[in-house]
Structure 1
Amino acid sequence: MEPLERYEPIVDDFDAFRAACERPLPTAVRVNTIEATVERAKRALEADGVEWTDREWSDEVLSVDTDSPGSTWASFHGWIHGQEEVSAIPATVLAPEPGERVWDACAAPGSKTTQLAALMDDEGLVVANDNNLGRLSALRFNTERLGVTNTVVVNSDARHFSLKPFDADERNASGSEARSQNFDAFDKALVDVPCSCEGTIRKNPTVLDEWTMDHVRSVAGVQKGILRRAVQATREGGTVVYSTCTFAPEENEAVLDHVLDAEDCHLVEFDVDLDSRPGVTEWDGERYDDSVRKARRFYPHHNDTGGFFCAKLEVDA
């Protein structure tokens, strides 16, 4: 059985799903509101002869008719950032406020990190962590290019992340001083974990060539550890958003089920005005907590996007 065929029992109109997975992915960008207004970015794209289309669910996300948005003047000035449309969902759902303390557990290459900073008006603190030292250069580059100044870049295994004060001698990705910090927990955490990446097949057609169940099971174990640490590092009443770009319940609902049982947290409803389906409560002989229905599955044939999974948790008081 091909990897995608295993999902036929949980995907409506499976033929449309397969057909969508075989089509190229439309190009999308996110307007960087730290450096420009949406209208200014649109005018810059028009001046370059690039047509754009609004995406109704987000004022900052645009569909563009170019395969190389990075070569536009709007990108050169840091006014836009090439970002897959569904990749903009987690930060939108987390909805950080200016002045809050936010942990981005698996941050590189920085698309979601810089989106978090923009939603916070570049105020407060974003701790952008990644365990892959080689990917930190891309994370730092993107924060600098997009004018982010509230972000500290950290190299750590998120499963064992140590929450400690960030003092005024710490330097963020753009070189400016970080504010003195003394806190016991983050207000919010974004957990966009490494995964089997099945949902990226429209932009990475070879992603399934080396797909194995052993890899799915292995990465699911890592995901559970990262999400548990995020809940532990977030204050009571705080918010944690968990996301993947895979269809596998082993990496999605099963991870949530594990963490709901192990940590003091619960799932909450959310809506981003995109067509989606609820999380599945049964898979391959396993039964998950009924509340995983509050998670959302985004399939390629529903919104002409990549595949995605997103869940919102609140830490219990």
Structure 2
Amino acid sequence: MNPLSRYDPIVEDPAAFHDACERPLPSVVRVNGIKATPDRIRRAFESAGVEFDPVGWHEGLFRLGEGESPGNSWPFVHGWVYGQEEVSAVPALALNPDPGERVLDCCAAPGSKTTQLAARMDDRGLLVGNDNNLGRLSALRSNAERCGVTNLAVTRADARNFSLKPFDGQPFDRTLVDVPCSCEGTIRKNPDALDNWSLDHVEGIAGVQKGVLERSIEITRPGGTVVYSTCTFAPEENEAILQHALENHDCRLLEYELPLEYVPGLTEWNGESFDDSMRRAKRIYPHHNDTGGFFCAKLEVAG
């Protein structure tokens, strides 16, 4: 049985959902605002003979033509663009950092969202990119260097016990919590993503996700913003994690604008009820916008 069939009761068109999950994912690049503009990328792709189309909901994203690879163009080599799945751009938009702020990306490698945050910060302020995987951290450093990021401090730590000591003990203004997950939403990019799927794995990784989100709330200043995101559909890894945070920490879910199709977060699943404010979270299914699957929620730390 396809593990994704468990979500048939919560998607409005199960047939379209499953059909979309079986189609290959379009290649997308994000314009790196530190080095380039959308107009500059249009001209560069045209001169290089790269087929592309703009993404309607975000001027800094371009879908590449069939057979095109993000890494095969000179704008990529020069750090003008970053190969990034379309809905992967959502968390940084929701976090919306300002130049000069203190921002943490607590599960940062290999760096797609980190470099996006740096560009939105105009490469100013403090941006900390943390991960506990040494091999992935080398990719983060390489990608940040290629993109011309200079405001980034790279750390290696388990995000569940991230320490503020190296940063003068001062909390962050905003924290991105894009946690490791069961990756169900990446099925279009990784057709074998669900080969080893099990409910035990989903429930096991949920414990890690709770710890990462809890620590992130603790190290974000009162009035600060925390964005929680996954590339999976499982309510056990999404709404249930947020519910745990709402019940154990002084925080609240915020509404935010998102200019693409989505559905609200769930208020119940398999007999479990969630806070009504969970509707402010956003579920993005592959058949909505011809993308991967994603979940994203925005929290405010009480202050």
- Show the 5 A alignment for 1:1-317: 1-65=1-65, 66-166=67-167, 182=168, 184-317=170-303
SS at match of 1:312: strand
CA-to-aligned-CA distance 1:111-145 (integer Å, 9 cap, x gap): 00000000000000111000111211100100001
Query: Counterpart of 1:172?
Result: none
Determine the C-alpha separation between the residues in 2 that align with 1:78 and 1:202. Answer: 26
Determine the C-alpha separation between the residues in 2 that align with 1:289 and 1:142. Answer: 39
TM-score, structure 2 as length reference: 0.98
TM-score, structure 1 as length reference: 0.94
Compute the displacement of 1:2 (Å). 2.2
Q: For residue 300 of structure 2, what is the amino acid of its counterpart?
A: E
Query: Counterpart of 1:174?
Result: none
Determine the C-alpha separation between the residues in 1 that align with 2:2 and 2:15. Answer: 14
Contact 2:51 2:68 (8 Å CA) reproduced: no
Q: Which ranges of 4 or more aligned residues in structure 1 deviate by more than 2 Å?
A: none
SS at match of 1:139: helix
Unaligned segments of structure 2, at least 5 residues: none
Contact 2:50 2:68 (8 Å CA) reproduced: no
Compute the displacement of 1:56 (Å). 2.2
Q: For residue 225 of structure 1, what is the amino acid of its counterpart?
A: G
Determine the C-alpha separation between the residues in 2 that align with 1:282 and 1:249. Answer: 9
Determine the C-alpha separation between the residues in 1 that align with 2:78 and 2:107. Answer: 26
Compute the displacement of 1:183 (Å). 5.3
Compute the displacement of 1:165 (Å). 3.8
Q: For residue 303 of structure 1, what is the amino acid of its counterpart?
A: N
CA-to-aligned-CA distance 1:215-243 (integer Å, 9 cap, x gap): 00010010000001111110011000000
Q: For residue 187 of structure 1, what is the amino acid of its counterpart?
A: D
Determine the C-alpha separation between the residues in 2 that align with 1:183 and 1:236. Answer: 14
Determine the C-alpha separation between the residues in 2 that align with 1:72 and 1:55. Answer: 19
SS at match of 1:241: strand
CA-to-aligned-CA distance 1:69-118 (integer Å, 9 cap, x gap): 11101101110010000000000110100000000010000000000000
Determine the C-alpha separation between the residues in 2 that align with 1:165 and 1:138. Answer: 22
Compute the displacement of 1:67 (Å). 3.2
Unaligned segments of structure 1, at least 5 residues: 167-181
Out of 136-145 and 38-47, give the one that drifted further: 38-47
CA-to-aligned-CA distance 1:245-302 (integer Å, 9 cap, x gap): 0000000000000001011100010122110000011111111111111100000001
